[in-house]
Structure 1
């Protein structure tokens, strides 16, 4: 008998690997024959995972909602609108009955930057339908979101080659 429990995963912290963890879970889920929705906030699609997810054809639906440029500054009206549209699309995916796994990559940062409210994310978590796994990634996860989640993993940076001047590399960090 299949296990249709729904759980909420949060991958947060300053260490590397949050998106990678969500992608690994998406690949595992697709490999088990399920459909996956992978929405990315604050990213423009110019990342290697975009190409990788296309290899899964219709098994993994991937969308991006962002320009990727304001992270160190203030969001524009366009950034806010893109994030809100992304959240609308994530909610639509959650309630569509089509996906076993819905990932909202970098949504924690979108909440931290005020593009989406933590209350809206909490409401989505509370109303999660049976059989839908929800993954929320990004630094700065809101305390109340972490408290309400079923699984929280904090990536902690111990050592990173960025500090040695090695920039993000295609296929590794981007």
Structure 2
């Protein structure tokens, strides 16, 4: 059976959390997992947890958090280097599940194109399951995917001034 391509997108909370939950499930089935975090370069609580699980490897391909700002050349270089590394990882078949966390955001901010992302995924070992997370999924990525889930924000305490909390949002 071939690996599928999932997209978790939308304005709601939970895209990365859903992908990481799938990573834990995959490890429970004795699968190896690679998580590539694009855009993100900061340390998050989930990194502490997942780095303790032997069958999960995580690497960040982001520098600073620029979402409210603008990507700089160094951000673009980091993302493109990451995409090149991920291309090799996907081809190798060493990992049965590869999560491309915030790859949709990387496309949205033009760190690399949707066509480049799809090309890398297209050339993967056919057994590798791929998950792409992040808001603003490009229409081409949505069309390419086998499964697309949209997280829709209905209500969020952030709008009442609650900042991201350690262990919950970061």
TM-score range, shorter chain: over 0.9
Give the drift of 1:121: 1.3
Give the drift of 1:99: 0.5
Instruction: For 1:171 and 1:91, locate their aligned partners in 2 and report how far apart those are by CA, in whole Å.
Output: 31
- How is 1:36-47 mapped onto 2 (pairs within 5 angstroms)? 36-47=33-44
2:141 corresponding residue in structure 1: 145
TM-score, structure 2 normalization: 0.96
Give the drift of 1:124: 2.4
Matched, 1:56 2:83: no
Give the drift of 1:109: 0.4
For structure 1, the 5+ residue unaligned runs are none
Instruction: For 1:86 and 1:93, locate their aligned partners in 2 and report how far apart those are by CA, in whole Å.
Output: 10
- Worse-superposed segment, 126-135 or 7-16: 126-135
Matched, 1:33 2:44: no
Instruction: For 1:123 and 1:86, locate their aligned partners in 2 and report how far apart those are by CA, in whole Å.
Output: 14
Q: RMSD of the alignment, in Å?
A: 1.0
Instruction: For 1:133 and 1:173, locate their aligned partners in 2 and report how far apart those are by CA, in whole Å.
Output: 26
For residues 94-144 of structure 1, give each alpha carbon's deviation from its aligned partner in whole angstroms, at most 9, with x where no partner exists.
Answer: 111200000000000000000011111121233332210011000000001
- Worse-superposed segment, 143-152 or 66-75: 66-75
Aligned length: 170
1:98 corresponding residue in structure 2: 94
- How is 1:1-174 mapped onto 2 (pairs within 5 angstroms)? 4-57=1-54, 59-174=55-170
Instruction: For 2:147 and 2:64, locate their aligned partners in 1 and report how far apart those are by CA, in whole Å.
Output: 27
Instruction: For 1:68 and 1:137, locate their aligned partners in 2 and report how far apart those are by CA, in whole Å.
Output: 18
